[in-house]
Amino acid sequence: MCPHFHFMTISSSDTAAVRPALQPLSLRRSFSWTLAANAVTALANVAILSALAQLGSAAIVGQYTLGVTLGTMIHALPQLSLRAVQSTDARDRYLFSEYLGLRLIGVAVGALAVAAAAVLGGYRPDTALVVVLVGVYMGVTGVADIVYGLLQRHEQHNRMALSMIVKAALSVIVVAAAMAVTHSVAVACVALTVSAAAVCALYDFPSARFVLGHRAPEATGPGRGGEAAALAPSFDPARMWSLTWLALPLGIANALNLIYFYAARLVIVRYHGEADLGIFSASAQLAAAGYLVTAALAMATGPRMARLYAERRWKAFTSVLVKFLAVSTVLGAATLLVGFLMGGPLLRILYTPEYARQPAVLLWLLGAAAINFVSTCFGTSLTVSRQFGVQLTLGIVSVATTLLVSIWLVPRIGLVGGGIAAAATSAVRLVGLGTVFLATFARVRRADMPADAAPASAEGENLV
């Protein structure tokens, strides 16, 4: 999916040459770059749905969002949340080539599973084709995702952000062009995949080459020098199994989280059809726009928080977390206010009047998003502290909540039931993640009390 990357390696003689260690960006710059990239990506996602709605129909929007729904849910488990594991791997236990090898296996499994779901799901042939094509596109983005994990790990968020911005801009251009010329969502999906593969091959892997070529020798571990700089994927069975076992709890938890996030859409398409799914997904896309800030904070602060946690610098770690929580809480309140004042007009302007017929759906989804902004802080904290297993239990509870509420309410009150299910599940997640992290953090600090007396550097405390 990303041509030629198998052959992009850096020789051991290069490693012996001048290899100045990379200087991490400040948290302020990392956040700014990531926020800009997430903002462009969020706008691009809205613009893609808008192009599909304006140049197609609500049913076409529903086909595309069904593909995104199934593709995201199915790819989540075999991809194992490796980016989160990699970006918080403060001690460099695994090589980039090992993360890449395992991700390629996961991408292949995910693409085949999406194709099977499309064929066996009882969808119309044109809908099944769109689902398969979106699944392939997500495989391409999954490969690039591993490069992003490497860039995050070394706090080179500017390179990651540039890739995201270029990819987002291209996606809008190619989808709009394909729809304007062919009015075919399948052709638009093919164009989307080709553009993502081009960015992956021409920018992402050269960025990985740059970062790996400038790693400090001590960061590679004993005997890893030249091997650590290789871009070719590694498939060593013992290492693959070890990494899989480490990442599996978080991978399952993330898959369950995505199932809870998208489950209401599957219930909606089951009871109300693709057109109503398109309308619901348009509101959900607007609600998701606020995630660009919390996602930027998580990506910018995650590697730094992981290092502070590993070094037991509790004051600096707590300072970053408190600021993360404060920004997320204010953002949630602002999002709800904007939705209350301007939600209906925004839906009419971006899509068509048909999409604004149930403004309460957007408000419920915005409420769910506001709660999730705060949940992200605790979820990131659990990840950087390598608490993967407990997130699995919380994922199971989240899926059970959203399925029960959706199946109960969607057939009775329609799309609003999907919004209520999202808000109820978000509340359950916030309570669970917050309780587990605070209890774990208090226990670790008590066990490590002598280290708490050490002076905390100001590094990492200036979030914004």
Tell which wins on pLDDT, 76 or 393.
76
Tell which wins on pLDDT, 366 or 383.
366
- Is residue 30 a part of any domain in this protein? yes
Overall average pLDDT of the 390-409 stretch: 80
pLDDT score for 215: 59
Is residue 112 over pLDDT 80? yes
- Is residue 456 a part of any domain in this protein? no
User: What's the domain count of the chain?
Assistant: 1
Overall average pLDDT of the 139-149 stretch: 88
- Is residue 453 a part of any domain in this protein? no
- Is residue 460 a part of any domain in this protein? no
pLDDT score for 459: 43
Token pair for 108: 């292949």
Interatomic CA distance for residues 50 and 44, integer angstroms: 9
pLDDT score for 224: 45
Token pair for 253: 């938890």
Distances (CA, A) of 116 to 69, 110, 262, 391: 15, 10, 19, 28
* Residues of the domain holding 360: 5-447
Tell which wins on pLDDT, 320 or 131.
131
Instruction: Give the type of residue at 51.
Output: A
- Given its phi and psi angles, is residue 345 left (phi above 0), alpha (psi -120 to 50 degrees) or beta? alpha
Residue 143 CB partners (closer than 8 Å, separation 6+): 1, 2, 100, 103, 104, 107, 200
- Is residue 396 a part of any domain in this protein? yes
Interatomic CA distance for residues 443 and 38, integer angstroms: 35
- Is residue 452 a part of any domain in this protein? no
Interatomic CA distance for residues 321 and 287, integer angstroms: 24
Overall average pLDDT of the 418-443 stretch: 84
- Count other Cβ atoms within 10 Å, centred on residue 119: 13
pLDDT score for 24: 67
pLDDT score for 96: 83
Using a pLDDT cut of 90, give the percent of the chain over it. 9
- Is residue 462 a part of any domain in this protein? no
Distances (CA, A) of 280 to 255, 354, 455: 21, 11, 51
Token pair for 219: 């960061």
Distances (CA, A) of 220 to 160, 247, 307: 21, 20, 16
Interatomic CA distance for residues 235 and 248, integer angstroms: 17
pTM (whole model) above 0.75: no
- Is residue 459 a part of any domain in this protein? no
Overall average pLDDT of the 221-235 stretch: 57
pLDDT score for 4: 38
Interatomic CA distance for residues 92 and 306, integer angstroms: 12
